[in-house]
Amino acid sequence: RQFTRTGNTDHLGNHKPIDPPETRFSYGTAGFREHSDRMSFIAHRVGYLASLRARTSGKAIGVMITASHNPEYDNGVKIIDPNGEMLAEEWEDHATQLINAKDDEFATGVRALETELNDPPVGSPSSIVLVGRDTRASGVHLTEAVQEGVGIFRTQFKDCGLLTTPQLHFLVHAYNNLPGGPPTEQDYYNHFSSYFKDLYDRLSPTKKYTTKLHIDCANGIGAPKMRNLAAKLPADALSIQFHNEQGQLNHKCGADFVKISREAPAGFEAVVANERCAVFDGDADRLVYFYKKDNGQIELLDGDKIALLIAKFYKDHLAELKMDDISFAIVQTAYANGNSSKYMKEELSVTPKFVPTGVKHLHHEASKYDCAIYFEANGHGTVTFSDKFFDTLDKRPEEAAIRLRLMSRVINKVVGDAMSDLLAVELILRHYDWTVQDWAAMYEDAPSKQIKVPVMDRSRFRTTKDETSLVVPADLQDDINFLLEKRDGARAFVRPSGTENIVRVYAEAYSQKDADELATEIEEAVKTLGL
Ligand code: G16
């Protein structure tokens, strides 16, 4: 078993050298993500890099082994920084350099990096790499590859086993920031369930909100972990029916499937119209909701709708408490539905900030405010808070301040977390005594269509910084502009994915027919290029 570019061994023991040898890898939207048979040498080098990050910070660092919403045969690795957030950008550059080194350049690359970082101490008791993995079959083998990489400079290593991605973020944050011994998975359940219970106990009885909830677990790690969490919630708070706990990961189910296809997941055939359904993705860091309508179609409540529900709760409370000196923001990406941004401006008086795709960009922007809600339309998101936010709230005795404080603990502030976001959504619906239909009625989505177009080399597509226009291929952008000129008020863009070998086509128009046609015409234009 080897973990080099030329001696790359997959989890079945097959020798799969990287071919062609000059293949370049980049730390994409969410770390390195590839077919799992190419991941071993990457995981090994990321293990080393994480240990270096742990040594330079003298803290715990996380390595999560997951390809999240991608198919089962893919896998990936991403590094979690000491505060539980995404890896700092300069370290992404170190990672890209190191992973792309040829085998005979690796040792020199390591030496150069050690020198650049002033030879950080070896063997510090506080430096440790915590590794978690989702349910993919290749995860165990990749954990071993990370362990060997961490071992190069004898840094401590802890295999935390099967976890959701946000659970590992939580553990890393807790390890470095909270008193007490090393945190455990149980601490995660205790934390979120106890704040949920405290807030739940303060809410009035409901007339319209019902406790019945279906959850699509995407056949992933969210299934056992949500069961663990649910077992600790007050018995009468939620009556959950679990679906898709054991089958093929993300196959015809999960948040990405439901968001893009706008169909109910497999396994929901018997669910009746109008019942509230929540959907996780493979590693439970995304959440969307839907319900079946009487006509058999689904009404999707995606990340934008979740953002607005949470934003309404925060805005209402901040207004009631007259906390005018708290800076507040909502952060979105180009995929946000136009009507969600319009609602924010017109109904909540908040002009959304736009950043490129990727939680790291949203989180970074959100952190500039005392309280900021960020969500990608695909269901990734959370709320961030400053110390000032909590300090101000701590001094306020009013019921609204207590509710806001508790809600802000129910939310996993370091990263988007399907399980904690679900608890927040359920409490907010209960607070307003809303049905899922009331929530959906906040605004009507502008008709939109997203298509994934497989390509041979997605690096042949490059966009402007705001991702709404292609720099190359320029001809394709000309074609898109031409198609847009024919449709008043429409918008569309093409962007290469950072997680799959596809480009994403997004189109929005006045009617669904127009949005569908526009997206299909752009899809054809992409395919014609044959890139
Ligand atoms: C990851 C990122 C998200 C991003 C998504 C899709 O999600 O964490 O921020 O929106 O990929 O990215 P792209 O459009 O570049 O493929 P996940 O759930 O796959 O980890």
What is the per-residue DSSP string for 28-51? BBTBEEEEGGG-HHHHHHHHHHHH
Among 16-30, 279-293, 319-333, the minimum mean pLDDT is found in: 16-30
Q: How many angstroms does the Cα of residue 378 sit away from the middle of ligand 1?
A: 8
Q: What is the pLDDT of residue 181?
A: 85
Label each residue of 176-238 as H, E or C. Answer: HHCCCCCCCHHHHHHHHHHHHHHHHHHCCCCCCCCCEEEEECCCCCHHHHHHHHHCCCCCCCC
Give pTM, 2 decimals.
Answer: 0.97
Q: Which two tokens stand for residue 372?
A: 């900021």
Which atom of ligand 1 is the closest one to the Cα of 283?
18
pLDDT exceeds cutoff 90 at 356: yes
- pLDDT grade for 28, boundaries at 50, 70 and 90: confident
Let me know if 68 is a catalytic residue: yes
Among protein residues, the one whose CA lies closest to atom 9 of ligand 1? 358
**pLDDT-above-90 percentage for the chain:** 95
pLDDT at 71: 96
CB atoms within 10 A of CB 491: 18
Ligand 1 binding pocket (C-beta < 6 A) is 29-30, 68-69, 281, 285-286, 357-359, 376, 378, 380, 497-500, 504
pLDDT tens per residue across span 412-439: 999 999 999 999 999 999 999 999 999 9
* Closest residue CA from atom 10 of ligand 1: 358
Closest ligand 1 atom to Cα of 376: 10
Please state the ipTM of this predicted complex: 0.97
Give mean pLDDT, residues 91-98: 95
The predicted-structure confidence for 167-213, as pLDDT tens digits, reads as follows 999 999 999 999 888 999 999 999 999 999 999 999 999 999 999 99
Compute the distance from residue 30 Cα to the ligand 1 centre, in Å.
6
Most informative mutation of 26, 380, 461, 504 for ligand 1 (most atoms within 8 A of CB): 380
Question: Nearest Cα to 191, choosing from 424, 412, 383?
Answer: 412
Confidence of residue 531 (pLDDT cuts 50, 70, 90): confident
Atom 17, ligand 1: residue with shortest CA distance: 68
Average pLDDT over residues 346-369: 96
**What domains appear along the chain, each with residue ranges and CATH number?**
32-180 (3.40.120.10), 188-301 (3.40.120.10), 303-416 (3.40.120.10), 448-529 (3.30.310.50)
**Nearest atom within ligand 1 for CA of residue 33:** 19
Is it the case that residue 530 has pLDDT exceeding 90? Answer: no
Residue 440 pLDDT exceeds 90: yes
Phi-psi region of 379 (alpha: psi -120 to 50; beta: other; left: phi over 0): left
